[in-house]
Structure 1
Amino acid sequence: MTAPRITRLVEALERHQIPLYLLALLIGGLVGILAPDTAPGFEHAINPVLIVLLYATFLAVPFSSIRESLKDGRFLTALLGVNFVLVPIVVFALSRFVADDQAVLLGVLLVLLAPCIDYVIVFSGLAGAASERLLAAAPLLMLLQMALLPVYLWLFVGSELVDVIDVAPFVEAFLLLIVVPLVLAALTQAIARRHVAGRIVMEVMASIMVPVMMATLAVVVASQIESVRTQLSSLVSVIPIFAAFLVIMAFVGQGVGRAARLEPAATRALIFSGATRNSLVVLPLALALPPALSLAAVVVVTQTLVELVGMVIYVRLIPRLVPMPTTELTSDSAAKTGPAT
């Protein structure tokens, strides 16, 4: 295939990425339901596809901008306030609806108290958010949730349940899903400044971003949809909670962004960070729980499915909730070649 054809194909994928992501969700769901025996294989594929996705994502952000982003104290204060002050308040209120079932309650708390540090960067970028600021804050968000999650669980459910949680899978996920692709991306960028091979790798990864995201969505859904389907009756109560969380956090993020006088791109990033949760990273934690609490893992998976659909909707609606200034839209319109926001 010639270079112009490849360019046109990549542009077509970017223009139609939202329906393509919905198609990936549908395909993953059908495969998981029609061939449930394939679920373990797809589950083993989750981390590899996530690593590739995050590697491609990290490549797209110049590391020089990360240092500048970390100097933005106003954005970081708003980000940490949303995720570690306001989110716990919202989560505590919503979790009261399932407080009588320890396994379900623990699953809800595990997933909703942990801010996302991976594909939030991709989805927020699609919505015209300042995704590089979320990338810069990812290590800090991960470290803080590792430190604070046991505290919130102790406050909300008591010490007896906190004692059964093993943090080793949490640390492993951080190293595998964040540190490894981040270091590889930094090395690739350093090589690209001196050698053409590095630049070729960066161009290739940028061109396959949409297919990699589709693969990630399909693999996650295919690996878990059967577990959700077989225990759907036990999960009915959590679906409205997860949907309500997405709605509430859109307006909480908007309000905090306005109060902090953040520009629209930063406010959009704040909304996405407050709404997206670390489901794929806390899933190993839930899977390591005792058999009596095994339903917690399925609750986490259910949140993943609700959130993936919600993110597709967010990409369209958040730019309308937090529009760019008219002058900026006008000046950027002629040069705009990326995804519609």
Structure 2
Amino acid sequence: MSAGSRRWRDRCQVAIYLGALAVGALVGWLAPAAGPGLEPAINPVLAALLYVTFLQVPAAELGRSLRDGRFLGAALAVNFVVVPLVVAAMSVFFPAGQALRLGMLLVLLAPCVDYVLVFNGLAGGSSRRLLAATPVLLLAQMLLLPGFLFLFLGADLARVARAGPFLEAFLTLIVLPLALAWLTQAWAARSPAGRRFADAAGTAMVPLMAATLATVAASQTPKLHGELGPVASVVPFYVVFLAVMAFAGLGVARVSRLDVPAGRAIVFTGATRNSLVVLPLALALPDEFAVAPVVVVTQTLVEVLGMVCYVRLVPRLLP
């Protein structure tokens, strides 16, 4: 496939994802009773999405990403050093309300591992290196996120968050999809049937992403009724985060002396957040924190629109 064809395909993906969010939000607004019934579908469809994402990362590529110390070090630094510092500075001005703050912290402290690849590719970033680093970023955020939340929330965290949902998310959304993906790769290497299955599974990535976004939007939009004011108050912070991280990521890329495609990938991984994977954690919070999942989903809506701007901005920052 030519570079032009790939860019056209990726632009179609962006339109599909925006359409899926719009359709899901419309369904959730017009048929709010459907929301609770759709929530149990989030984890299975998300696990399937991550399975086909990991399927694109050969085990050898993961080993290569671990040896690509400069890029991996920059990706870890921008996500787990720079981002927490930016969030700490912003958190002084976060809206009042523990549920709002917890939802914002959950989503802002976790780097994205799925649709970031599409937007990064559209901007000429190194999708191969970013894709190879995906399992490392997922593992790191699941290990570090509880500690970050404790630093920001202190003893209050123990009263509202339990270790069970974190462990369940780690096993079902990371360990299981990654293990199944590597087993599928081993099957594909030894069998024509396995290769055909792996190829067919790879084509399901776009429909699964669209299904995930639509399901999330439809299940969470009904919770906006009566909460529009508090939820709207978090939007400016998500916009500021995107603006700050564009230049913070650029700084990390330059300090790390990366080439242009790798530098663009660092900007994108620092700016995009993992709302889909942390959403199950927000959904597991007590009832009085029901607004936290909506705060997480709101970040997705802001970010997808922001990524459309990033696709034009980042090539100008790193020409």
TM-score range, shorter chain: 0.7 to 0.9
Identical counterparts, % of pairs? 58
Deviates more, 1:287-296 or 1:173-182: 287-296
Among 88, 111, 118, the residue aligned to 1:115: 111
Asked whether 1:311 is paired with 2:307, we answer yes
Residue correspondence of structure 1 range 1-341 to structure 2 within 5 A? 14=10, 16-98=12-94, 100-323=96-319
d(CA) in 1 for partners of 2:118 and 2:47? Answer: 13
Tell whether the 8 Å contact from 1:128 to 1:319 is kept in structure 2 after alignment.
yes
Deviates more, 1:246-255 or 1:272-281: 272-281
d(CA) in 2 for partners of 1:45 and 1:312? Answer: 28
- The answer for the alignment partner of 1:329 in structure 2 is none
Tell whether the 8 Å contact from 2:11 to 2:122 is kept in structure 1 after alignment.
no
User: Structure 1 pair 19/89, CA: closer, same or farther in 2 (3 Å)?
Assistant: same
d(CA) in 1 for partners of 2:243 and 2:221? Answer: 23
Tell whether the 8 Å contact from 2:223 to 2:291 is kept in structure 1 after alignment.
no
Partner SS, residue 193 of structure 1: helix
CA deviation map 1:134-158 (0-9, x unaligned): 4443444344334433433333333
Tell whether the 8 Å contact from 1:250 to 1:271 is kept in structure 2 after alignment.
yes
Tell whether the 8 Å contact from 1:14 to 1:210 is kept in structure 2 after alignment.
no
d(CA) in 2 for partners of 1:155 and 1:15? Answer: 39
Give the superposition deviation at 1:95: 1.9
Q: Give the number of equivalent residue pairs.
A: 315
Tell whether the 8 Å contact from 2:108 to 2:273 is kept in structure 1 after alignment.
yes
Tell whether the 8 Å contact from 1:167 to 1:285 is kept in structure 2 after alignment.
no
Deviates more, 1:260-269 or 1:233-242: 260-269
- Counterpart of 1:175 in structure 2: which amino acid? L
Tell whether the 8 Å contact from 1:58 to 1:182 is kept in structure 2 after alignment.
yes
Q: Which runs of 5+ in 1 are unaligned?
A: 1-9, 324-341
Tell whether the 8 Å contact from 2:95 to 2:234 is kept in structure 1 after alignment.
no
Give the superposition deviation at 1:320: 4.4
- Counterpart of 1:207 in structure 2: which amino acid? T
- Counterpart of 1:83 in structure 2: which amino acid? N
Q: Which runs of 5+ in 2 are unaligned?
A: 1-5
- After superposition, the CA RMSD in angstroms is 2.7
Tell whether the 8 Å contact from 1:166 to 1:285 is kept in structure 2 after alignment.
no
- Counterpart of 1:109 in structure 2: which amino acid? L
- The answer for the alignment partner of 1:4 in structure 2 is none
Give the superposition deviation at 1:127: 4.2
Tell whether the 8 Å contact from 1:57 to 1:122 is kept in structure 2 after alignment.
no
Tell whether the 8 Å contact from 2:10 to 2:122 is kept in structure 1 after alignment.
no
